[in-house]
Each structure stands twice: as structure tokens, then as C-alpha cells.
Structure 1
Amino acid sequence: MFRTRALLATLAVAAVLAGCSTGGSSGGGQAVDGTASNDGRCQASGADFAIGKQGSADLLEQARKASGSQTARILKPRDVVTLEYRSERLNLNVDEQGVVTRVNCG
């Protein structure tokens, strides 16, 4: 009984410590695609090239990578959104025709 509890406690501690570890990389602070690492935070100015283009999944992914964001979405004129601000998310706002009119983080 004591051995079982000791083993379970050891496994629990190992699991907690594994969750705290970082992957570590030899990239020298640079992201794989060559953009500066910014901890996944959005920098909307990197995606300004999308303004005036037709919103699409490909454009969204290019803009997400260029901004350094972890996530991205396209917002249409009447989409319902919450007021939460997420520093790692890029928003591409499109007009009725699906053309990007604004790029922002949140």
C-alpha cells in the first residue's frame, strides 16, 4: 500500500515538472519563418499587407505568421464578438464583399 502511494506521488510530481519544462530551441530567438520571436503576441503592423485583399484562409494564415500571432480570425460586418482582448490573436476585419478593411489584435 505504501509503495503504491509513493509511486503515485512520484508520478504526479514528474507530471507537474514535465508541464513546467520548456521545449528549448537552438533558434537563437528567431521564429522558424524568420520573423522575430515575440512570444506569440500579435503585432498587427506585420499584417498590414492584407488590407485591400480578398479575405481567405490562405491570406489569414499568411497574415497570422507575419504578425507573429498564435491565432487569427476573419470578422465579417455583423459577426458577434465578445469584448475579451487576447494579445495572441489577429483579427482581419472584412467588408460586405469580403475585402480586408482593417487589421488589429485582440
Structure 2
Amino acid sequence: MRLTLPLIALAVAGCVPAEPVESTPPERGTGLTCNDEGLSAYIGREATAELGAEMMKAAGAGALRWVPKGAMVTMDYRTDRLNVHLDEKNRITRLNCG
């Protein structure tokens, strides 16, 4: 019985999803405001650093956060951040500011 709890904890720890990757530090005050309107053309495309920079420019964002499928993200709201949600094949499924 004493070994059961540590083994369960170890098994659960192996199931933790990947962390989202943010391209800028979580500082505030970039002075930019993200606008996700008109970004639907990026859905279905493969995520790359170059595409990320292009999407940030198109959205007027000061920060970019890649969100892999199944990843847990913080609920803090940033007016300058573009969130890019990805599927298991690293393709963009959704974009939103916040």
C-alpha cells in the first residue's frame, strides 16, 4: 500500500501535457493591442517561427503564445498577446487574442 501512492503519482506525472511556448516574456505594457480579426487565412498552416512573426505583425500583437493540443494555459489576459492553438501535427487550428 505504501508504494501504491508514489507509483500513481509517477504515472500521472507522465501524462502532463506539453507546456505552451510564449515568444516574449510575460511583461506588461508593450503598448500594443492584438486584433485577431482577419487571421482565418492562417488556419490549417504549419506553425513556424517565420509564420509566427507574420501573424504577430498582422494582428498588431506584442507577444505570441503557441498552444499545443492538450496544453494547459494560464487564464491571465493580455491585450497584446496572440494565442495560436495547434493540432497534433503542428498545424494551426485557432487564433485568438488575450
Sort the TM-score into its range (normalised by shorter chain): 0.5 to 0.7
With CA pairs under 8 Å and 6+ residues apart, which has the higher RCO, 1 or 2?
2
Structure 2: stretches of 5+ with no match in the other structure: 1-30
Q: 2:77 aligns with which of 55, 77, 85?
A: 85
TM-score by length of 2: 0.64
TM-score by length of 1: 0.60
Q: 3-state SS of the aligned residue for 1:91?
A: strand
Cα deviation, 1:52-99, whole Å, max 9, x if unaligned, reads 100111111100000001011211012221111111000110111111
Larger Rg: 1
Number of equivalences: 68
Identity of aligned residues (%): 35
Amino acid at match of 1:54: E
Moved more, 79-88 or 62-71: 79-88
Q: Over aligned residues, Cα RMSD in angstroms? A: 1.2
Match runs of 1:14-33 below 5 Å:
none
2:87 equivalent to 1:95 = yes
Cα distance in 2 for residues equivalent to 1:63 and 1:47:
8
* Contact residue 47 and residue 64 of structure 1 kept, 8 A: no
2:9 aligned partner: none
Match runs of 1:1-106 below 5 Å:
39-106=31-98
Q: 3-state SS of the aligned residue for 1:103?
A: strand
Q: 3-state SS of the aligned residue for 2:50?
A: helix
